[in-house]
Structure 1
């Protein structure tokens, strides 16, 4: 059996054992990621109808479907903008920008869509393509976290919140210290739906305080 075949076999075996992967399949969810956001939302009360939300790293759409259900569409005055260079499964009322956050195209479209209104919540499930080199992968993951924090500082309204995927390792403590400069409270949590063997955690920060000029 080739290395790729062995890897695929291990992945399929893990999926069959994973209760959240099985539940996602049985409920027709786009991915198991749905349950991570659901658990974060229940714990921190991140969402309610009518909020304006920016979702980074939205593909394939596991979080997007949950968000659409919770926000209840633009009839409630809400807005959901998803940013990802890959295809995102989304409803007709959701705005999808097929570009990577930080690229000129994404920045220009966000400025046109959001204007001065900003958003109430920034979510990031962005993750790098893993190379197998832990040092390189961690540096790439922290770069994505920096982009998410940049988005929050740029687009969040006062009092807003964010939830950002991280991988435990070098740079996380310093990044969290920076987050706490901009939010009233911030903490790291690991949803039950995250695999126990994964280094994946989420930073949840609430009570955004914009920098004052002058």
Structure 2
């Protein structure tokens, strides 16, 4: 049997794209891990999870599945029934239980200022129904999302952010995979999107291995070493 490291699949959240993982990807590849960075569609929780599940089905061998922000809700759904996912890692992420959504969880504890930083753009979906695309208002992006990232980098992130629909952030989760798959949670203590207290609450509820780092919501950008360490910690448990 070939001895090889598990593939690490990375799923970004709202107001970001796959390039937000670049620092983590560089370190993982230097350490010999195969990596897949998934382009999260941010259209609805169910369709986003179905897309990620299809990506997972195309990966040969065991997978460590990693989610940031809303991507945590996506991986919780996508890994359910995906037999090759052996560990889940949440980086400043949502870990919803069945029926919960990102929007309501964000207001469960004080400290999130995301709502007042958002800009809504009307959206007509392919079926003709109406929705909104939600962006972080560009002048507010640095402080809200990435306060510990250099201003020049945060400025680029603000321009390239991918919006999430209102549907995605308000759709209830299905049965979460964290109930059956070992999980790790990296808590960003200075997060203004998902407050520390909420991250701790969700991680403990999921019986996740918890680590904390002083970081903004953009922890994969500002603290790639810390994110890589917890991913590799999870990966070392995968046979």
**TM-score normalised by structure 1 residue count:** 0.39
Structure of greater relative contact order (alpha carbons < 8 Å, 6+ residues apart): 2
Tell me which structure has the larger Cα radius of gyration: 1
**TM-score normalised by structure 2 residue count:** 0.35
